[in-house]
Chains A and B, each alone.
Chain A
Amino acid sequence: GQNIDQPTEMTATEGAIVQINCTYQTSGFNGLFWYQQHAGEAPTFLSYNVLDGLEEKGRFSSFLSRSKGYSYLLLKELQMKDSASYLCAALDSNYQLIWGAGTKLIIKP
């Protein structure tokens, strides 16, 4: 079956760095997305990786290893507004998105 695993909840301190991991098992693979979702709001796009390696976008970076079925989202210089759920989603061979349940990130002052 197809599956996405990511931690349910993580806690980090304002100003610190946090890494949110995601492992995936899909029938074929056409890329991996990360979305941010604040409580009560819609998901918003953060990143898309299809090749191995690290992509950096300001304070956020996303890494992909296709051979290991693994990705992570790295958030630097954490701010209180980064408190949200982070959703990992893999695109399978039929171009259907398989979503993880999300990681709730709690930022403490």
Chain B
Amino acid sequence: DAGITQSPRYKITETGRQVTLMCHQTWSHSYMFWYRQDLGHGLRLIYYSAAADITDKGEVPDGYVVSRSKTENFPLTLESATRSQTSVYFCASSVAENTEAFFGQGTRLTVV
């Protein structure tokens, strides 16, 4: 399917477990982003990537790890999940930093 897809759409995990959220885009966009969205907050950038093998921290990177070995994939790993990481996670991609971003459908993660 063309576009940007995230998996899983819903995930429940236990505190302390490692969990990986997947993101795949078919446009060969250079830029990819991971955001979290919580009630009362705007989207907060976790990590972003300008190209394969280039990643940078965003506003709230602690407790998260990313990699980008291929242009089309940008997985996000929670190394040891905590309840404060319960959130909706959005992956996005764009051609450049100042062009529109296309968002995946989101992953609703609950840490119990």
Contact = CB atoms under 8 A, between A and B. Distances in A.
A99 B106 CA distance: 17
Interface stretch (B17-25, B41-49, B69-77, B78-86): B41-49
Main secondary structure of the interface of B (DSSP, over half): loop
Interface in B61-102: 90, 97-102
How large, as a class, is the contact surface on chain B? 10 to 19
B34 interface: no
Contact of A50 (B43, B98, B100): B98
B96 to A, nearest CB: 9
Interface in A53-109: 87, 89, 91, 95-102
A31 B42 contact: no
30 contacts: A4-B42, A30-B97, A33-B100, A41-B105, A42-B90, A42-B103, A42-B104, A42-B106, A43-B90, A43-B101, A45-B100, A45-B101, A48-B98, A48-B99, A48-B100, A50-B98, A87-B42, A87-B43, A91-B97, A95-B97, A96-B45, A97-B43, A97-B45, A98-B42, A99-B42, A99-B43, A100-B42, A101-B41, A101-B42, A102-B42
Complex A-B, nearest 9 residue pairs according to Cβ-Cβ distance, in ascending order:
A99-B42, A95-B97, A45-B100, A42-B103, A99-B43, A101-B42, A100-B42, A43-B103, A42-B105
